[in-house]
Amino acid sequence: MGEKIAEKDMVRLDELLADLGSQRGTLIPILQKSQEIFGYLPREVLVRISEKTGSPLSRIYGVVTFYSQFHLKPRGRNIVRSCQGTACHVRGAKGILSELKKELGLEGEEATTKDLGFTLETVACIGCCGLAPVIMVNDETHGRLVPDSVKGILDQYR
C-alpha cells in the first residue's frame, strides 16, 4: 500500500499530539489535522494517535469510518468535489460528474487517478446553489458549468 511515510511528518504528528492529545473532545480535530499532514490516515498514524491519546484503536476506527471526510487510502494531490445537491441535480450535475470521470480516466467506483493527481468525490451542496451546477477543486469553487468547461478547469490544476 502506497507511499512511505516521511519521518518529518511523523515529527509533526507528535507535535500535534503533544499539543492536543491530552485535551478532551479533540479526537476529530486531531484526525482532521493529521489528514492535512499526511493527505490521508495511514494505519501507522492511527496507531500512534491511539498510543498517545489512550483511545482504543477500535474507537478511532469507528470514528474514522463514520465520517465521510476521513480516508484510509492515499488521496490525490487535488480533491475535486462534484456537487450533487438538489439545485445542482436539477441543473445537470450528473452530466458534469460523468464528464469529470471521463476526463480523469476514472472507471466504475474508482476515485483516485493512478498518478495520484486527482481524487474525485461527490458532495451534497456546497452552498453555492445560485451558480449550479458547481464543483469545488480544493478550496476553490467553479460554477455555472457545462460538460465542456470541465477540461479547462482540470487543466488549471494539472
Partner 1 sequence: MEKLARAHVLVCGGTGCSSSGSKEIIPEMRDKLKEKGMDMEVKVVETGCHGLCELGPLVIVYPEGVFYIRVKPADVDEIIENHLIKGRVVERLLYREPATLATVPDYDDIAFYKKQKRYALVNCGHINPESLEEYIGADGYEGLAKALSMKPEEVIGEVKKSGLRGRGGGGFPTGNKWQFTRAAAGDKKYVICNADEGDPGAFMDRSVLEGDPHRILEGMIICGYSVGADEGYIYCRAEYPLAIKRLQGAIKQAMDTGLLGENILGSGFNFTIHIKEGAGAFVCGEETALIASIEGRRGMPRPRPPFPANSGLWGKPSNINNVETFANIPSILRDGGDYFASQGTETSKGTKVFALTGKINNTGLAEVPMGITMREIIYDIGGGIPDGKKFKAVQIGGPSGGCLPEQLLDLAIDYESLTKAGAMMGSGGLVVMDETTCMVDVARYFLNFTQDESCGKCTPCREGTKRMLEILNRICDGHGTDDDIPLLESLASSIKAGSLCALGQTAPNPVLSTLNFFRNDYEAHIKDHKCPAGVCAAFVGYTITDNCRGCGLCKKVCPVDAITGEIKGKHLIDPNKCIKCGACQAKCPFKAIDKG
Specify the DSSP class assigned to residue 145: -
Residues of the shown chain interacting with partner 1 in the complex, contacts defined by CB under 8 A: 24-29, 31-32, 62-63, 66-70, 81, 84-87, 89-92, 94-95, 98-99, 101-102, 123-132, 134, 136, 139-144, 146-148
CA 75, 81, 86 angle in degrees (round to 5)? 150
Q: Which stretch binds ligand FES (CB under 6 A): 4-12, 63-71, 121-129, 148-156?
A: 121-129
Question: Does 137 engage in binding with ligand FES (CB under 6 A)?
Answer: no
Decide: is 111 part of the binding site for ligand FES (CB under 6 A).
no
Q: Which one-letter amino acid corresponds to residue 33?
A: K
Phi then psi dihedrals of residue 122, to 5 deg = -110, 155
Chosen residue from 37, 83, 111, 145 binding ligand FES by CB under 6 A: 83
Residue from 5, 10, 126, 153 touching ligand FES (CB under 6 A): that is 126
Chosen residue from 129, 147, 149, 157 binding ligand FES by CB under 6 A:
129
- From residue 29, alpha-carbon distances to 2, 21, 22 in Å are 24, 10, 13
Q: Cα–Cα distance between 104 and 114 in angstroms, integer?
A: 10
Q: Do residues 86 and 125 lie in contact, with contact meaning Cβ atoms separated by under 8 Å?
A: yes
